[in-house]
Amino acid sequence: MNRPFADDTLLLLDGGMGTQLQTKGLMPGEVPELWNLTRPDDVCAIHEAYFAAGANVVYANTFGANKAKYHGDASLSEVISSAIGIAKAAKGRADASLPRFVALDVGPTGRLLKPTGDFEFDAAYDAFAEQVSLGAKAGADLVAIETMGDTMELKAAILAAKENCDLPILATVTLGEDGKLLTGADVDCVAALLEGLRVDALGFNCGLGPDRLLPYVRRLAERTSLPIAVKPNAGMPKIVGGKTMFSVGPEEFAVDVARLVDAGASIIGGCCGTTPEHIAVISKLEKRCAPVREKCATCTITSGSRAVEIPLDDTIIIGERINPTGKKKLKAALAEGDTAYVLREAVAQVEAGAHVLDVNVGVPGMDEPAVLDSTVQALQGVVDLPLQIDTSDPKALERAMRHYNSKPLVNSVNGKEESLNSVLPLVAKYGGAIVALTLDENGIPPTAEGRLAIARRILSRGAEYGLTKDDFVVDVLSLAVSADADSANVILDSMRMVREELGCRTCLGVSNISFGLPARPLLNASFYTLAMGVGLSAGIVNPLSEEMMTAFRSYRALTGKDKSCGNWVAWAVEKETQSQSAAASRSVESADLASAIRHGLKEDAAHMAKTAVASGESPLGIIDKFIVPTLEEVGRGFEEKRIFLPQLLMSAEAAGAAFDAVRSAMPVEDGGAKKGPIILATVKGDIHDIGKNICRALLENYGFKVIDLGRDVAPEVVVAAAKRENVRLVGLSALMTTTVGAMEETIRLVHAKLPGCRVVVGGAVLTSDYAAKIGADYYTKDAMELVRLCGALPL
């Protein structure tokens, strides 16, 4: 056996390294990898003991040898080459009757990647790439990526290994007591991601003892056909006298590990607290073959923390709203870099019940690869639904797939050679389920048979890249029934045939069907029901459309997919309760619009403003008589400390809702346009943006247009946006003294490049003196002061 994982016999890994080093005197805070140079004999003795105990694989002492984490005096190159050298020396002395391997041990960087932290994916990738290159050069037999708690970092490490060496990759993650990674991914997420990235073996290490890992190994065995590795701790750590102790002895450990093998694990070892004695005992386990498992026939896509099945016998919703086609506001928001607008569209769809969100940022003239990448990254920091990356630009697709924190749905490949050749390799490399459009160089076939033939061809080309029918979701393309009377029939026939003859899942952009006709929502909903009836797996629809959601819910209730009609009943009851409670609260506190605003009753305020407009009151009159004076009164109350910020924000939100209701009835020239725009951003290096978000909310509710560039924004990005939008005021926030430097730099750059643009700053550590010192034009102590300032400035 020249490579590990070559057959199904049990492969034995070593036990704990860190805890062994500690027993030999490694102190807390000391760099373990330096021992490769200072105490090589001690490191070697540990490897030798594990080989002698029967381990096939030892992990070299390189766990933290990446440039993001390592801070020893010696170079990484020295540390890694000596580590591999020591392990190879131990291997050379080991009994050669067993296959023996040396793994380059790749642990986490110790940094939290974006979106949770501030560390760039590409920086993590670089750190791992260097480590892998050095390890491969030094002669490692495999790469063991372990103790990963973040899917994003795991992906960076795997891509670094795949792109910088051709060694086999074993990737293991660490589960918490709830069976999830630190960043929230569960076993299903991990399995989908790792299968997609095509590692050679996968599993768990550290975190839990072998008994606690059992249910998760069982689950993993259902979700992957790859060999499963487990390296459990010797039980859960206990702190005794300030020291961490592990209590499970070798015999007990072996009993539990045997159960893990029965559950499907074929690569076994130990982590913290395990010793050569633990490994010696598990080496005596019967050398049985691990059961052969079929690749599971599910089509799973994932976010950083959630796995979603695209079903064969049920239907889910892909929210279509993040697509600028025909949406002026979204187009403008994408062009302006107004991330907050896009995020709001996303959150609204999540709340409405979408299962997956489509992300398409195709606006002519825009740098699509950059915008798609940044939009995907912003979305995955806020919503936990998997994304459908929707672009026809392979460059944009690759960049977004690379930085996506899990396994996406890719939209799309089609039957054209160019598309097949550019998209399928990306899916094979990064993992993903993929939408297959039934069109090719000759266009969209007019018949169901023609569309089926293209789907068949795409699937067979996919097979060349190791993709199966379960990796594809076929979109037979919806064409307007107004242009072709037979269109709907052909679509439904095609979907039926794809399902029956190819056994493949389907998706469809439903609303195209009604293009060119009046009363589109009703027609769309009826067609949606028909499509679900022939087995539509995923409808690409607007989840904010009541008609579509009613069609979805009723279809599932009527076809037994909604068990005991539970979802239908819950939805109906909630709807009823909402309308009752709205009516009830209206009668108590919302005597009038002013009162609704004062009490912060958003829905009531919007409802009353709408009613007032409908009853013939002039929109401007409503604003001048009710909304503005009440908002003024509330603002004064805050300034005079009679009410608190949360109450001010509640009222402002209610006023904002009333504004919106009235404004939609007003022509722009009559004051429907907002004042501004004002750019807001949290400065580079600062990832805390609550204060900035509160300012944005209040400004918007007071009728200002805000372009929110988000958090951790580089000075040049602020300047570019301010220049593009011809903005007169930029608001910057910083929370910590450590990030005020970045604020100062941004102010300097704005002043240098845009003489007409002023900068206002705010944040916990700032004062008006401090603000003046760093060159800010204005300082406001809270959101209300900022509103006042914006009101006084000619924007």
Partner 1 sequence: MTVDRAEIARYMRMGRVLPDGALEERVTDILGRAQKVIRPTKVWRRLDMAELGRHFDISGSIARHLDGCHAAYLACGTIGAAFDAFQRCESVTSGVNALIAQAVGAAMIERLMDITGDEIRNELSNGECLISRYSPGYGDFPLAAQRTLLEILDAPRTVGVSLTDMLLMVPSKSVSAIIGVRKDEQTVC
Site for partner 1, rule CB under 8 A: 28-29, 108, 110-112, 115-119, 147, 149, 174, 176, 178, 180, 182-184, 206, 239, 241-242, 305, 340, 343-344, 346-347, 381-384, 589, 599-602, 644-647, 649-650, 652-653, 685-690, 693-694, 696-698, 701, 735-739, 783
CB of 754 to partner 1, least distance (A): 26
CB of 371 to partner 1, least distance (A): 19
State the SS3 of 141-182. CEEEEEEECCHHHHHHHHHHHHHHCCCCEEEEECCCCCCCCC
CB 724 within 8 A of CB 693: no
In 3-state terms, what secondary structure has residue 427? helix
CB of 108 to partner 1, least distance (A): 7
In 3-state terms, what secondary structure has residue 300? strand
CB of 278 to partner 1, least distance (A): 20
Choice between 120 and 277, CB closer to partner 1: 120
The DSSP element (H or E) to which 251 belongs, if any, is helix 250-263
**How far, in Å, CA of 684 to CA of 423, rounded?**
35
**How far, in Å, CA of 16 to CA of 206, rounded?**
9
Choice between 165 and 346, CB closer to partner 1: 346
CA nearest 333: which of 365, 367, 361, 369? 361
CB 111 within 8 A of CB 68: yes
Choice between 240 and 485, CB closer to partner 1: 240
Choice between 116 and 478, CB closer to partner 1: 116
CA nearest 170: which of 105, 252, 74? 105
Q: What are the residues facing 682 on neighbouring strands?
A: 733
The DSSP element (H or E) to which 253 belongs, if any, is helix 250-263
CB of 183 to partner 1, least distance (A): 5
Choice between 470 and 708, CB closer to partner 1: 708
φ/ψ (deg, to 5) at 373? -60, -50
Distance, first Cα to last Cα, the chain = 73
* Type of residue numbered 521: P
The neighbour count for residue 500, using CB atoms within 10 Å, is 12
CB of 245 to partner 1, least distance (A): 13
CB of 344 to partner 1, least distance (A): 6
CB of 184 to partner 1, least distance (A): 5
In 3-state terms, what secondary structure has residue 474? strand
In 3-state terms, what secondary structure has residue 113? strand
**How many CA atoms lie less than 13 Å away from 461 in the CB half-sphere?**
22
Structure tokens at 530: 């028909």
* Type of residue numbered 720: A
**How far, in Å, CA of 160 to CA of 89, rounded?**
26
The DSSP element (H or E) to which 741 belongs, if any, is helix 737-753
- Sequence-ordered list of residues with C-beta below 8 angstroms from that of 658, at least 6 positions apart, any chain: 593, 596, 597, 605, 606, 608, 609, 622, 626, 627
Rg over CA atoms, the chain = 30
The neighbour count for residue 785, using CB atoms within 10 Å, is 17
The two beta strands, 265-268 and 316-322, are unpaired
CA nearest 498: which of 535, 445, 444, 443? 535
CB of 690 to partner 1, least distance (A): 5
Choice between 340 and 435, CB closer to partner 1: 340
Find tokens 């003294």 and name the residue.
Answer: 737
CB of 47 to partner 1, least distance (A): 22
**How far, in Å, CA of 535 to CA of 555, rounded?**
11
Choice between 445 and 685, CB closer to partner 1: 685
CB of 641 to partner 1, least distance (A): 10
